[in-house]
Amino acid sequence: MPEPTTRRQFLARAAILAAAAPTLGSFIAACSKSGQPSSSAPPTLTIAAPDHPVKWDIPADNKPIADGLAPEKGATLQLYNYADYLSPDAVKSFEEKYNTKVQISTFNDTDEALTKIRGGNVDYDLYFPSYDQISKLVSGGLARPINHSYIPNIKNVWPSFTNPWYDQEWRFSAPNFIYTTGIGWRNDQVPENIGALPNPYDSLWDPKYKGKTAIIDDWHTAMAMVLLRAGKTDVNTSSDADLKLIGDQLNALVAATSPKVTITMYSDLPAGQIGLCQMWSGDIINSALSYMPEGVSPDVLRYWFPADGKGLVDNDLLIMLRSGKNPVLAHLFINHLLDPDVAQQNFAQTGYQPPQNSINPESLVSSGFIPPNLAAAVVKPEYFDAGYRLLELDPANDAAWHNVWRAFKAGGGA
Amino acid sequence: MKGPVAWWNDPWRPPRFLVAITAGYLAWSLLPVLIAVAYSFNNGRSRTTWQGFSFRWYWGDNSLSVWHNAALHTALLQTIKLGVIATLITVPLGTLFAIGIDRWRGRLPAGANFLMLLSFVLPEVLLAVALLFVITTVAVPVQLGTTAQVIGLVTFQVSYPAVLVRARLATIGPQYEEAAMDLGASPLGALRRIILPMLIPAIFASTVLVFADVIDDFVLVRYLSGNAATEPVSVKIYNTARAAPTPALNALATLLLLAALTAVVVGFLVYRYMTRADTTTKDRGIGAFAGEV
Amino acid sequence: MAVPVVSAPSRAAPPPRERRSRLWAALAAPGIIWLAAFFIFPLYVVLCIVFGQVDPIFRTPVPVWNPLQWDPTQFTYVLTHIVGPHGVFGPAILRTFIFVLVASCVCLLIAFPVAYYVARLSGRRKGLLLALLIAPFWISYMMRMFAWVNLLQDDGLFNKVLRIGGLFDPRVNWLTGQPVVVILGLVYGYVPYMILPLYAGLDRLSQPMLEASRDLGADRISSFWRVTLPLCRPTIVAAVLLTCLPMLGDYFTSDMLSASPKTAMVGNLINDSVQSPGQTGQAGAFVMLVFLAALLPMLYYIRVTSRRDEVAA
């Protein structure tokens, strides 16, 4: 049996360890990753807003690719997207047209996606975020500027998107889908007309729907809804009082109705797992078009969004990543998605509306594409004037919001 | 005929209560899986309503079946690749480690032994997060992806062969080795020619167990995966189960189950063949194979 | 042991015992180096991240390698948010302990009789039963959970069976934040890990000793309570540790079977924070806490078993 350590031996070893640790530390520091590209990031983040539009600089070391290059051969285009957020037929037609392969990797939320991209270990070509990450992507040197000559199909898109407030002259982004965030329900489980209530958001806090509700698993979307319910319209607030209100209301929500926190409403609602939820407009259309089980008619689905457009309205983006190895293919894919036929296919298979000139919001219901009970899910251009956007937050505010959200997700607070 | 009371109190009665519990447990344990396997042959899209028998989700459906869906192929291939590579590294590493630690006296081997046991019981998420941190912050020549996943899996699984081989060494005892050395063999020679062959059952048992464990590992491979090409079946099931799964997922899981079962059956048959003359294994049944000796 | 010394000079070869020790060290070296590089070093990196800095814009973690420059802000943030006025993590941690405790007890209540029966009383069917017991290991954990998700859906078999049973119309949504479902999910997932070590230990109990107690007049229950149970106590302790320590880090059971904050465990806290900007250091802090929670019982167990070995030797 080995003799027990004497105190002297123990102290000697501890002293050696303590002395060695800093040198070990500096040794490892030498091997540490000097990090992620472009440490010339400014100390503060430029936040874009509709009343404060931003034109991003194109740095000298990150120029767009040259004109007229041929698509990469034998390559696999890497897309990084939500699950079920891109039409499989659109992908297949691109693969056939350019004789290439496309691989889609998925993420559950954009925070996790950005962390992975910034970690530098992945080589995605195209990413599908919303504009609440554009400043970080551009100033962190993660985004690749667009060479407009590859994307003539931009003319098919609403003109405002060639000079959006978040990316003037569309130097880094192209528009993907437009959507609103409202409330979806099925009237065989929830017979009440939620839209006719004085404050429809209250229904999610109503105990009679306990166990049947869900909210969106996205911190900004869910917390903004709490603000809207309370009548506050600054959904990017940095006020401590407002954040505290959100935290308390979220706790009340768990106590009252114990909602699921998920982004799979588009399959849970038609399957009957939930009856009432906060929902994106594209999800409810997707439910009606693709996910109803056999024997259940899409007539049971309903959607509510404020008719005056004073709710959450957003669009998301297509951004090329600098770490991608197939820039030409990425440009061509963006162009492909902006083609009217492909965009229509994308609409049909994901439920989300692309801002195409050829898609007239007024005629979507009358042409039978969208069932009349879901007319409220169509996104009208007027919404963009009156609606509230989920903007990017500066780091301190972002941290504060995330802390509230994490406290909620931990099931904390009685 | 005995009366009911006598039947109840019969001193030679079988342990009915225990039998009932065991039968109940086995049913509870295996039925859900059998049902999931059954629904993989469902003709429709539902996983809860039987709509007829078909192989649609295996090869029939042109876009969603396992045969036609490239993403599911990649997942299956990645799982098998990880299983094979990780097992090939883990078993020799663990076996040599066990032999060395077993004989070497001192504090370092005791510490290493403790470390190995610790890696056995620590929640997997700790190791996964720690390795994720290493890969993303230290300039190691390893990217997220298969290499990282293999490293994580080997670290997590190395205790399996180590523990099983040590147990077997304890049973074998030192007498064979000492006899060999008395007859003039060097320690290394005794090891190679006497002990290693006697360890074959434990090595094989650990190979099979490690393979079966690796192919359904979830936490480590998810944290350490790169892009979708390095996501194995378990991650695919997790990602898709929360969204809109079709019975293709059931089919995929069934195929994986078949792969694991084949590995085990093959391993067992090889084990029986190799130990047909070995007298130190008390029984050559499944018990010895499972590593309990 | 006397080695016959022939006229060899002392510097020729080291004595056989030391030479053998070098052999064993050489054999164990690859394993030790592997564990040091891929187990100990990553744990140190976790410490460096927990006590490190945060990038001001992206809020990604910046590890600090020199222990003298460590900054305890993130760690103290986690500690101060466990209990007290900001106690947001406390409930999740408490819930984890409760779930794991209850699940371990239920596992033991199920696993012990099954293992006992198969090990000692099953006779000819032992091999078959053992194969069936081991079968869950070969079936993907995800698939087993997935199978339960299918069964517990609102239109799944479980509700259908309950409804046929007749008079009930259960309006229970099993998959929305029910702690019972999560606990049972944990039990379902981990009970095979408890059965095998129990089986192995129970198989080794000496039958004569058990028969002796019956011969001396004890009835079944008394014999079980006073002889069998104390004899297999070390096995039980080992099996419980083997099952409940890994359970501490489980997050996907709650995710798949519940998706609700009401059943969030420490594993969920880690999983949600790791890739969330600004919260990675806090995830590391949780990792440290779980590590300590797992380490201490292991240390105690090793201590107890080695003391027992000393006594036995």
Chain C residues closer than 8 Å to A407 by CB: 88
pLDDT, tens digit, 9 for 90 and up, residues A119-136: 877 889 999 999 999 999
* Structure-block tokens of residue A366: 């009358």
Q: Do C140 and B39 touch (CB under 8 A)?
A: no
Domain boundaries, chain C: 90-287
What is the fold, at CATH topology level, of the domain defined by B70-289?
Answer: MetI-like fold (1.10.3720)
Q: Do C268 and A410 touch (CB under 8 A)?
A: yes
CA distance B202 to B162: 10
- B204 in Cβ contact with B271 (< 8 Å): yes
Chain A within 8 Å of C249 (Cβ-Cβ)? no
> What percent of chain B is modeled with pLDDT above 90?
20
Please report, for the domain that includes residue A145, its CATH number.
Answer: 3.40.190.10
The DSSP secondary-structure symbol of C192 reads: H
Phi, psi of C49 (to 5 degrees): -80, -40
User: Nearest-CA neighbor of B120 among B98, B145, B135?
Assistant: B98
Chain A within 8 Å of B136 (Cβ-Cβ)? yes
Distance (Å) from the alpha carbon of B40 to chain C's nearest alpha carbon:
11
Query: Per the domain annotation, does A414 fall within a domain?
Result: no
Residue A18 has pLDDT above 70, yes or no: no
Query: Per the domain annotation, does A100 fall within a domain?
Result: yes
Complex ipTM? 0.84
Distance (Å) from the alpha carbon of B187 to chain C's nearest alpha carbon:
7
Mean pLDDT of chain B: 83
CA distance A64 to A320: 11
pLDDT of residue C20: 67
Clarify whether residues A102 and A142 are in a common domain. yes
- A266 in Cβ contact with B244 (< 8 Å): yes
pLDDT, tens digit, 9 for 90 and up, residues A223-234: 999 999 999 999
The angle subtended at Cα B207 by Cα C29 and Cα B214, nearest 5°, is: 95
Residue A380 has pLDDT above 50, yes or no: yes
CA distance A124 to C74: 31
Choose the closest CB to C91 out of A211, A271, A411.
A411
Query: Per the domain annotation, does A228 fall within a domain?
Result: yes
Q: Residues B180-209: what's their mean pLDDT? A: 84
Mean pLDDT of chain A: 88
pLDDT of residue C17: 58
Work out the angle between the directed axes of helices C233-247 and C280-312 (0-180°, nearest 10). 170
**Structural domain for A353, as ranges:** 76-178+314-370
Q: Do B237 and C153 touch (CB under 8 A)?
A: no
pLDDT class for C313, splitting at 50, 70, 90? very low
Domain tally for chain A? 2
- A394 in Cβ contact with A44 (< 8 Å): yes
Clarify whether residues A227 and A191 are in a common domain. yes
Distance (Å) from the alpha carbon of A124 to chain B's nearest alpha carbon:
8
Residue C214 has pLDDT above 50, yes or no: yes
Range of lowest pLDDT (A18-22, A153-157, B2-6, B45-49): A18-22
Chain C residues closer than 8 Å to A114 by CB: 58, 277
Q: Which chains pack against B, by 3+ Cβ pairs within 8 A?
A: A, C
**A133: amino acid identity, one letter:** Q
**C143: amino acid identity, one letter:** M
pLDDT of residue C84: 76
- Give which of C20, C40, C114, C143 to mutate to test B binding, by max B Cβ within 10 Å: C143
Chain C residues closer than 8 Å to B151 by CB: 38
Clarify whether residues A271 and A395 are in a common domain. yes
CA distance A27 to C233: 48
User: Nearest-CA neighbor of A413 among C179, C278, C264?
Assistant: C264
User: Nearest-CA neighbor of A30 among C65, B141, C43?
Assistant: C65
Choose the closest CB to C175 out of A44, A273, A398.
A273
Query: Per the domain annotation, does A286 fall within a domain?
Result: yes
Distance (Å) from the alpha carbon of A50 to chain C's nearest alpha carbon:
22
Clarify whether residues A301 and A254 are in a common domain. yes
Q: Residues B200-218: what's their mean pLDDT? A: 85
Distance (Å) from the alpha carbon of A108 to chain C's nearest alpha carbon:
11
Chain B residues closer than 8 Å to C141 by CB: 216, 218, 234
- C30 in Cβ contact with B97 (< 8 Å): yes
CA torsion B124-B128-B134-B137 (nearest 10°) is: -140
pLDDT of residue A340: 94
Residue A6 has pLDDT above 70, yes or no: no
- B101 in Cβ contact with B253 (< 8 Å): no
Mean pLDDT of chain C: 83
Q: Residues A401-407: what's their mean pLDDT? A: 90
Q: Do C146 and B36 touch (CB under 8 A)?
A: yes
Clarify whether residues A132 and A268 are in a common domain. no
Q: Is A313 helix (H, G, I), strand (E, B) or coil?
A: strand
Chain A residues closer than 8 Å to C275 by CB: 111-112, 115-116
pLDDT of residue C10: 54
Instruction: Tell me which CATH code domain C90-287 carries.
Output: 1.10.3720.10
Chain B within 8 Å of C202 (Cβ-Cβ)? no
Clarify whether residues A229 and A354 are in a common domain. no
Query: Per the domain annotation, does A150 fall within a domain?
Result: yes
**Whole-number Cα distances in Å, B254 to B71, C132, C147, C275:** 17, 17, 11, 32
Chain A within 8 Å of C207 (Cβ-Cβ)? no
CA distance B166 to B95: 8
Q: Residues C231-258: what's their mean pLDDT? A: 87
Distance (Å) from the alpha carbon of C87 to chain B's nearest alpha carbon:
23
Clarify whether residues A397 and A272 are in a common domain. yes
- pLDDT: is B90 or C206 the higher one? B90
CA distance A183 to A275: 11
**Whole-number Cα distances in Å, A46 to A117, A276, A340, B236:** 20, 38, 34, 38
H/E element holding A315? Answer: strand A312-320
pLDDT of residue A94: 95
> What percent of chain A is modeled with pLDDT above 70?
90
Neighbours of B134 (CB within 10 A): 23
Range of lowest pLDDT (A305-314, A373-382, C170-179, C211-220): C170-179
| Residue entry with tokens 């070893």 | A13
Residue A384 has pLDDT above 70, yes or no: yes
Q: Residues C139-148: what's their mean pLDDT? A: 81
pLDDT, tens digit, 9 for 90 and up, residues A242-260: 999 999 999 999 989 989 8
Residue B49 has pLDDT above 90, yes or no: no
Chain B residues closer than 8 Å to C118 by CB: 22
